C-alpha cells in the first residue's frame, strides 16, 4: 500500500476528545433506563465475626424505599450462585451485607443508615509485620512463587554484599470514576448491564456464572472508563449486587459506590515486605541475588503480588533464589494495581543496586550496564528485542547525568540539597488473543468493532489509525465501536495488553477487508481494473489504483455500492512464538531538592527513556508513559493507606487524606521513546505503555534522596519524618 503507515505513529488528536470535553461521553453511572430504581450497598462495620441479626424495619418504612435485600432474600436463596454475595460470617470491615433499593439515591442512602445490625465480633489481625513468621509459599496462586538458578549458598565470601529489607504500604487506585453498574433484565430473562469495567467479557462471564445463565444471555456495555489502574480489571461483587437487586424488585437498578466504599469493595495494592541480598565481586559483577518477598492477602482468597520477578530477571546473575510468600489477614482481597508486582518489586531491586553501586564506589548506570542481561535468564530465552542500553544512554545524556557529583550531600541549589537518582524500568510485553470486525458501506465509511476497552489510554484513536492505514482510507471515515460484549471478543484491558492485542486484531480485519476490496476491483466488470491481477493494484485514500498508473483509480464506495452496499471481514490477531522472551525496558532519571531544615522532598526534573517497540500514536504514547511516571512519583513520596489495627478499618478513605500528586508536585517530565523494531512480539510490533512508566520510578526518587542527603529510605512513601530520622 503506497501510503502505508502514514498515520500509525503520528500524534493524531484523540478521536473521542471532543466528546469528553463537551460532556458527550457517557460513563456507566450516566446511563439511565426507564423505570429505574437506585441501590446503595450497606457494609459490615466490624472486622471479623458473625452477623447475628439484621433489622431493616425502619429502613423499609421510609417513604420511597422499595426493598432491603439481605442474604435471606428469596432471590438469593433460590439462586445458589448468589449465596456468597452478602456476608454471614464477617471476614473484614466493609464487606457487603445488604443493598437498599429505593426510588432515588438520596432515599436509598438515608435508608441504609437506618438498617440495624447485631454482630458477634472478634479482634482482627491486620498487621502483616506482626505475623511475618506465618508467611507461606501459596499453592494454586496462578503464579510461579519460587524461582531459582545456580546455588546462592555457594557464594560464601563475596567482595561486596547488600543485605536490606524494603517495604511498600497498602495503596488504593482512586480513579476519578468510581465503580458503578446499571442492571436490567429483559422479559425473556436476559441481563443487560452498563458497568465501569476494564473487561466487559470477564464481567459478563462472572454475571453468567453467578446467575447460572448462558454467557450469551448477558450483555455488558462500557464505552468510556474514567480510569481504572487495575481496580476495574476484575469482576467485583457490587456488579452482581446490582443485577440481583434488579431481579428482586423487577426493575432496572443503578448502583454506584461511594469514594469510601472504593477502599473496601474492589481491592488494593497489597503491603509488601522485601528482603534482598545482593553479592558481587570486587569489579561489581553480581554473584548472587536472594529475594525473600512477602505480601498480605485476605483469608478467603489468594492474591500473590509477583514482587520477585524483577529481582529474578532484570540483571545477569548465575545464582538466584527468589521466593514469594503470603500472610493472610482480616482484610479485603488485594488486586492488580498499575504494574502489579513490578511497581513494588522494582523498588527493592533498584534501591539495592544503587546501594551496591555506592559500596563499590561505582556509577549506578555503569553497574547496571556491567550486569546487563542479554537473555531472559529465568526462561533461558533470547529477548524478541531489547534496547535497554540505548535507554540508559539516551536518558543519561538528556538528563545530564555526567554532571553528577557521586558524593552524597555534595550538590546544592541555594539552601536546598540536590540529588540525582536513576533506576531501570521493565515490564512484560503481554499479548492475548483478540477478534475484530471491519465493515465498509456504499458511501466509503468504515466501522470497526472490537470488544476491547478504552480506559482513557487512547484505544479509540490508535484503533482508528491502525484501521485507516491498513485499509487505506482517511481516518475521519473510520468509526470505532468497542466495550460491548455483543462485539467480537477481546481480552480485558490490563497488563498493558490492549494496544497489542486489540490492535493486532483490528489490523488483521482491516487487511482482510482491503483484500476483499481489491478482489472486487479485479473482478467487477465495471471496474477499470477488471481482469488486472491484485498484486498489480494498490490502495490509498479510499481508492484502488494501478501501481503502474496511479491516475487510473476507482473509489472503494463505488465498488462496494455495486457489490450490495456493504462488505465486511472478521479476523483474530495472529499468535506469536514460544522461542523468545517478550519484555519492555526503560531507564528513569530523577532530580530532587530536599529542604535540610524540614526534610521535605520535591522532584524538580525527570527524564524517562523507554524502548517499547513500534509507536502507534506518539501523543497518546508519551501521555501514558508520563502518567506512569507521575503515578510512580506518588508511590515514592505520598501514597499510603492507613489501617486502624483495633477496628480493622482503613481510615484515610477520601482524596483529602489519601494523598496523590497534583500539578504542583510534578515537574516537567521529559519522555524519550527509543526507536525499536520487534518482528516477534506481535503482528503489529508494539509493546504496551500503560504500566512500564511506573516501574523503577519510586526507586529513582529514593536513590535521588539518598544522593541528596546520605539518608537511605527503604520504607515507602518517603515522608519528611523518614528523611529527618
Cite the active site residues: 691
Helix, strand, coil percentages for the chain (3-state, nearest 5): 30, 30, 45
HSE value, Cβ hemisphere, 13 Å, CA-based, for 211: 29
What is the DSSP secondary-structure string of 302-355?
-----TTHHHHHSB--S-EEEEEEEEEESSPPP---SSTTHHHHHHHHHHHHHH
Q: Which residues make Cβ contacts (< 8 Å) with residue 678, sequence separation at least 6? A: 384, 385, 429, 613, 614, 685, 687
**226-255: burial string, b at 16+ Cβ within 10 Å, e else:** bbbbbbbbbbbbbbbbbbbbbbbbebbbbb
d(CA 96, CA 108): 15
Query: CA distances (Å), 205 to each of 6, 29, 127, 449, 485, in order?
Result: 39, 21, 35, 20, 10
Read off φ and ψ for residue 647, nearest 5 degrees: -100, -5
What is the DSSP secondary-structure string of 184-197?
EE-TTS-EEEEE--
Handedness of CA 3, 5, 8, 11 (dihedral sign): negative
The angle, 0 to 180 degrees and rounded to 10, between the axes of the packed helices 697-709 and 342-360 is 30
Q: Which residues make Cβ contacts (< 8 Å) with residue 188, sequence separation at least 6? A: none
Strand 218-221 with 191-195, pairing: parallel
Give 218-250 as a 3 state SS string: EEEECCCCCCCCCCCCCCCHHHHHHHHHHHHHC
- Residue among 571, 541, 560, 545 nearest 476 (CA): 541
348 alpha-carbon distance from chain centroid: 21
Output 618-624 pairs: Cβ under 8 A, ≥24 positions apart. Answer: 618/9, 618/10, 618/11, 618/673, 619/11, 619/12, 619/13, 619/458, 620/11, 620/14, 620/457, 620/458, 620/461, 620/462, 621/673, 621/689, 622/671, 622/673, 623/458, 624/457, 624/458, 624/689, 624/690, 624/693
Q: Which residues make Cβ contacts (< 8 Å) with residue 72, sequence separation at least 6? A: none
SS3 at position 465: helix
DSSP state of 70: -
What is the DSSP secondary-structure string of 502-563?
HHHHHHHHHHHHHHHHHHHHHH-TTSTTTT--GGGEEEETTEEEETTEEEEEEEHHHHHHHT
Query: CA distances (Å), 578 to each of 56, 148, 383, 688, in order?
Result: 58, 21, 11, 19
Alpha-helical (H) ranges within 318-445 are 342-360, 364-370, 388-399
- 252, 35 Cβ separation under 8 angstroms: yes
Amino acid at each position: 500500500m503506497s501510503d502505508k503507515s502514514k498515520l500509525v505513529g503520528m500524534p493524531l488528536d484523540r478521536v473521542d476528545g471532543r466528546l469528553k470535553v463537551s460532556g458527550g461521553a457517557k460513563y456507566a453511572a450516566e446511563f439511565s433506563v426507564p423505570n429505574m430504581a437506585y441501590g446503595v450497598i450497606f457494609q459490615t462495620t466490624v472486622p471479623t465475626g458473625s452477623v447475628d441479626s439484621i433489622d431493616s424495619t425502619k429502613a423499609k418504612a421510609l417513604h420511597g424505599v422499595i426493598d432491603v435485600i439481605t442474604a435471606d432474600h428469596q432471590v438469593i436463596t433460590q439462586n445458589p450462585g448468589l449465596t456468597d454475595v452478602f456476608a454471614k460470617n464477617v471476614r473484614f470491615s466493609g464487606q457487603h451485607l445488604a443493598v437498599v433499593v429505593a426510588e432515588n439515591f438520596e432515599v436509598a442512602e438515608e435508608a441504609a443508615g437506618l438498617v440495624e445490625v447485631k454482630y458477634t465480633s472478634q479482634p482482627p489481625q491486620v498487621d502483616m509485620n506482626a505475623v511475618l513468621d506465618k508467611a507461606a509459599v501459596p499453592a494454586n496462586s496462578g503464579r510461579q512463587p519460587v524461582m531459582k538458578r545456580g546455588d546462592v549458598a555457594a557464594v560464601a565470601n563475596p567482595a561486596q554484599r547488600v543485605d536490606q529489607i524494603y517495604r511498600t504500604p497498602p495503596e488504593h487506585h482512586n480513579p476519578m470514576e468510581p465503580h458503578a453498574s446499571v442492571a436490567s433484565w429483559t422479559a425473556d430473562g436476559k441481563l443487560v448491564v452498563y458497568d465501569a469495567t476494564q473487561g466487559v467479557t470477564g464481567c459478563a462471564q462472572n454475571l453468567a456464572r453467578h446467575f447460572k445463565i448462558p454467557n450469551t444471555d448477558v450483555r455488558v456495555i462500557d464505552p468510556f472508563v474514567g480510569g481504572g489502574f487495575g481496580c476495574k480489571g476484575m469482576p467485583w461483587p457490587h456488579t452482581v449486587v446490582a443485577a440481583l437487586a434488579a431481579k428482586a424488585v423487577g426493575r432496572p437498578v443503578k448502583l454506584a459506590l461511594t469514594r469510601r466504599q472504593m477502599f473496601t469493595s474492589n481491592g488494593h495494592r497489597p503491603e509488601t515486605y522485601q528482603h534482598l541480598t545482593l553479592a558481587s565481586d570486587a569489579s561489581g559483577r553480581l554473584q548472587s541475588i536472594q529475594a525473600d518477598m512477602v505480601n498480605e492477602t485476605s483469608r478467603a482468597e489468594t492474591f500473590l503480588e509477583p514482587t520477585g520477578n524483577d529481582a529474578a530477571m532484570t540483571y545477569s546473575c548465575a545464582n538466584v533464589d527468589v521466593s514469594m510468600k503470603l500472610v493472610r489477614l482480616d482484610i479485603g482481597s488485594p488486586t492488580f494495581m498499575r504494574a502489579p508486582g513490578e511497581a513494588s518489586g522494582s523498588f527493592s531491586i533498584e534501591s539495592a543496586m544503587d546501594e551496591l553501586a555506592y559500596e563499590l564506589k561505582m556509577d549506578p548506570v555503569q553497574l547496571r550496564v556491567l550486569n546487563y542481561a542479554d537473555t531472559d535468564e529465568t526462561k533461558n530465552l533470547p529477548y524478541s528485542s531489547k534496547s535497554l542500553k540505548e535507554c540508559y544512554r539516551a536518558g543519561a545524556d538528556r538528563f545530564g547525568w555526567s554532571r553528577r557529583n557521586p558524593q552524597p550531600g555534595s550538590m546544592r541549589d541555594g539552601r536546598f540539597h540536590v540529588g540525582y537518582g536513576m533506576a531501570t524500568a521493565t515490564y512484560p510485553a503481554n499479548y492475548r488473543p483478540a477478534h475484530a470486525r471491519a465493515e465498509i458501506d456504499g458511501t466509503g465509511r468504515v466501522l470497526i468493532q472490537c470488544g476491547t476497552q478504552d480506559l482513557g489510554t487512547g484505544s479509540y484513536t490508535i484503533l482508528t489509525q491502525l484501521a485507516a492505514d491498513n485499509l487505506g482510507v482517511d481516518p475521519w471515515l473510520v468509526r470505532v465501536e468497542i466495550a460491548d460484549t455483543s462485539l467480537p471478543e477481546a481480552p480485558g484491558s490490563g497488563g498493558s495488553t490492549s494496544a497489542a492485542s486489540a490492535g493486532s486484531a483490528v489490523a488483521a480485519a482491516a487487511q482482510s477487508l482491503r483484500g476483499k476490496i481489491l478482489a472486487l476491483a479485479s473482478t467487477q466488470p465495471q471496474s477499470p481494473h477488471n481482469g488486472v491481477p491484485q498484486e498489480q493494484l494498490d490502495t490509498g485514500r479510499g481508492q484502488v489504483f494501478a501501481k503502474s498508473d496511479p491516475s487510473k483509480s476507482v473509489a472503494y464506495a463505488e465498488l462496494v455500492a455495486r457489490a450490495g452496499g456493504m462488505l465486511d471481514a472478521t479476523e483474530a490477531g495472529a499468535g506469536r512464538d514460544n522461542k523468545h522472551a517478550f519484555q519492555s525496558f526503560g531507564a528513569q532519571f530523577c532530580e530532587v531538592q530536599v529542604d535540610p531544615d524540614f526534610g521535605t522532598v520535591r522532584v524538580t526534573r525527570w527524564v524517562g527513556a523507554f524502548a517499547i517497540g513500534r509507536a502507534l500514536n506518539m501523543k497518546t504514547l508519551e501521555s501514558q508513559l508520563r502518567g506512569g511516571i507521575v503515578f510512580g512519583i506518588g508511590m515514592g513520596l505520598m501514597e499510603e493507606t492507613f489501617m486502624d489495627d483495633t477496628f480493622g478499618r482503613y481510615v484515610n478513605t477520601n482524596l483529602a487524606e489519601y494523598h496523590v500528586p497534583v500539578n504542583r508536585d510534578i515537574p516537567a517530565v521529559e519522555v524519550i521513546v527509543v526507536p525499536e523494531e520487534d518482528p516477534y512480539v506481535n503482528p503489529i510490533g508494539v509493546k504496551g505503555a500503560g504500566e512500564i512508566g511506573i516501574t523503577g520510578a519510586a526507586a529513582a526518587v529514593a536513590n535521588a534522596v539518598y544522593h541528596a542527603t546520605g539518608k537511605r529510605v527503604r520504607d515507602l512513601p518517603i515522608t519528611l519524618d523518614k528523611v529527618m530520622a
